[in-house]
Amino acid sequence: MLNRGLAGLVTLLLFASVAFFLVQIIVPADFTVQFSIGMNRAEREAMQDELGLNLPLWQQYLNWMRDFFSGKLGTSFYGYPVLDVLQAALPLSLLIFLPGTALAYWIGMQLGKFAGWSSHQVRASAATLGGLALFTTFPPWLAWLVAYFLGRQLGMLRGGFFFSPGLDDLNRRLWATIELRPDQIAARMLLTLAVVSAILVATHGVLRRRQRRLPPVVFALVLAALCYPIWQAWGFAPQALDLLTLAALPMLTYTLLSFGETLLIMRTGMQESRTQEYITVARAKGLPENQIRDRHAARNAILPVVSRLIISLPYLLTGIVIIEDVLEWPGLGTSLFNSLYQQDMPMVMAMFLMVGGFSLAARLLLEALLVVLDPRLRVSGQAEYLA
């Protein structure tokens, strides 16, 4: 894991360097060109000198790398620290990405398990076709469909698209009673969800050793029942629920876009497991069919799903970036596109690094999870299986 972490950091550094020079080549002009109509040449040159845009490219690169290693990530061309923008946008993006990924993974795994094991080919084919259709849908088009039908026509979801952009649909009277901003509350919500989820996962592991289990529905209900009192004790439970109801639209769109790949891989794994010898042995022992499916076939079929999730993580992040921009959710995606429109290169590069760093951390975490799920990787000499 240490070697993979160091290799990932080197890769992230190379990616950032290539992205820096690539952006300089692609963008036809510098930041000051958008103000050229309202200022003369001397004023524009003064602005270029103030922002360091008249320096040689190699010197701009060294200055940017200095800010990168110092952890400050530089200053936006508009004068505000880049790190402040990232700290405000990241919790709101993770509030969509983390629960949406977990939900998409669970839905895809359950439907794939059903489609690969069920003898009802019509139902299995319908589930597979639905997942494939959503997985291959153009993300802005899917966001528009969800926002239009579930938001505007049925009134089941709040906000989004041309109805009410961004966080403008929040209950202003409710938020006037608290000093915390939505991004600060989102960060505390994520911290609570992470801690309580870790406790429940540990509890589930103890129950499994005693031949018991914690069903997913019970897991979700207990998670909600434990988180809400904590939010209430911190004094922002009503605001957290208000934020969640507004985040439901981008979260649902992202989930519908993401679960199809998990479904297809899980279905293939289940179909391959049905003909394996250990399934025949389990049936010969007289085990119930649902126990053979869940405890024998599914446990082996889930390994390729986790491996594929590691590989496809950057593509999932791309999907959430597009959805945020379409639905005007003020996360990393919206900030990235706004920075591109304004040619604010320090902000663009910081967003790239933030996405790359998060991808690196998530890949390491998922690889550790893969070692936990597959006992063969814990045997000495089998570490190369991960490669």
| 114, 124 contact by CB (below 8 A) | yes
Residue 229 has what pLDDT? 92
Of 36, 70, 104, the residue at which a domain comes to its end is 70
Cα distances from 143 to residues 116, 165, 309, 324, 386, in angstroms, run 29, 13, 22, 9, 35
Of 311, 329, 347, the residue at which a domain comes to its end is 329
Which tokens belong to 158?
A: 């709040």
335 in a structural domain:
no
The tens digit of pLDDT for each residue in 336-351 reads: 888 877 777 778 888 8
> 64 and 141: one domain?
no
> 62 and 91: one domain?
no
Stronger pLDDT, 171 or 181, i.e. the higher one: 181
DSSP string, 129-143: HHHHHHHTS-HHHHH
Of 307, 329, 351, the residue at which a domain comes to its end is 329
Domain that holds residue 217: 87-329
pLDDT of 256 above 70: yes
The tens digit of pLDDT for each residue in 292-328 reads: 887 778 878 887 887 777 777 777 777 788 888 888 8
360 in a structural domain:
no
Q: How many domains does the chain have?
A: 2
DSSP 385: G
> 16 and 119: one domain?
no
> 119 and 47: one domain?
no
Residues ≥6 apart with Cβ < 8 Å to 127? 111, 114, 115, 263
Query: Which 3 state secondary structure label does DSSP give 81?
Result: strand
341 in a structural domain:
no
Confidence of residue 120 (pLDDT cuts 50, 70, 90): confident
Residue 161 has what pLDDT? 45
Q: Which amino acid is at 161?
A: F
31 in a structural domain:
yes
Give whichever of 36-40, 254-258, 333-337, 353-357 has the largest mean pLDDT. Answer: 254-258
Q: Rounded to whole angstroms, how far apart are CA atoms 67 and 186? A: 27
pTM, 2 dp: 0.80
201 in a structural domain:
yes
- Phi, psi for residue 33 in degrees, rounded to 5: -65, -30
> 153 and 251: one domain?
yes
> 190 and 242: one domain?
yes
Confidence of residue 192 (pLDDT cuts 50, 70, 90): very high
Which tokens belong to 210?
A: 């005693």
Cα distances from 296 to residues 17, 85, 152, 202, 369, in angstroms, run 46, 47, 45, 21, 18
Q: What percent of the chain has pLDDT over 70?
A: 88
Instruction: Identify the burial level of 198 via C-beta atoms within 10 angstroms of its C-beta, where 0-12 means exposed, 13-18 middle and 19 or more buried.
Output: exposed
366 in a structural domain:
no
Q: Rounded to whole angstroms, how far apart are CA atoms 83 and 101? A: 25
The tens digit of pLDDT for each residue in 194-252 reads: 999 989 888 887 887 777 777 778 888 888 899 999 999 998 899 999 889 888 888 99
> 161 and 305: one domain?
yes
> 263 and 120: one domain?
yes
> 178 and 310: one domain?
yes
DSSP string, 10-26: HHHHHHHHHHHHHHHHH
> 66 and 91: one domain?
no
The tens digit of pLDDT for each residue in 141-174 reads: 888 888 888 877 777 777 654 444 456 567 778 8
Q: Rounded to whole angstroms, how far apart are CA atoms 12 and 233? A: 40
> 238 and 291: one domain?
yes
The tens digit of pLDDT for each residue in 101-111 reads: 889 988 998 88
